[in-house]
Amino acid sequence: MSRQGPSTPQLPAVNGNRWLSEQLFLKLQQILTALILVSFGLIVVLTTASTGPFVVVAGKLLFLLILLSAATWLATWIVKVWQEKRRPAGD
């Protein structure tokens, strides 16, 4: 069987800057989501393996990274929704 096309949908290139910003927001949210999941996984693995001082510090830093990533993800989503509402109808 031949492959029909790319597996991810491509946005139409009506206005290059607008679609580029939407793609950047999407990519940033994907990266932040992956960062949150990896950090959470590392916390689970580290605290399962040990409870030493290094693990306590690393766990706290990873927790802060999760909080900052979640706040950044939320801010990105708010800006993306704000931009979508400002877009003229029919675009």
Q: Where are the domains of the chain?
A: 21-83
**CB within 8 Å of 83: residues ≥ 6 apart:** 21, 22
| Burial 47-59, CB ≥16 within 10 A → b, else e | eeeeeeeebeebb
pLDDT digits (tens, 9 = 90+) for 38-63: 999 999 999 999 989 999 999 999 99
What residue type is 83 in one-letter code? Answer: Q
pLDDT surpasses 90 at 90: no
Mean of the per-residue pLDDT values for the chain? 83
Q: What DSSP assignment string belongs to 35-57?
A: HHHHHHHHHHHHHHH--SHHHHH
Q: How many beta carbons lie within 10 A of that of residue 76, not counting itself?
A: 16
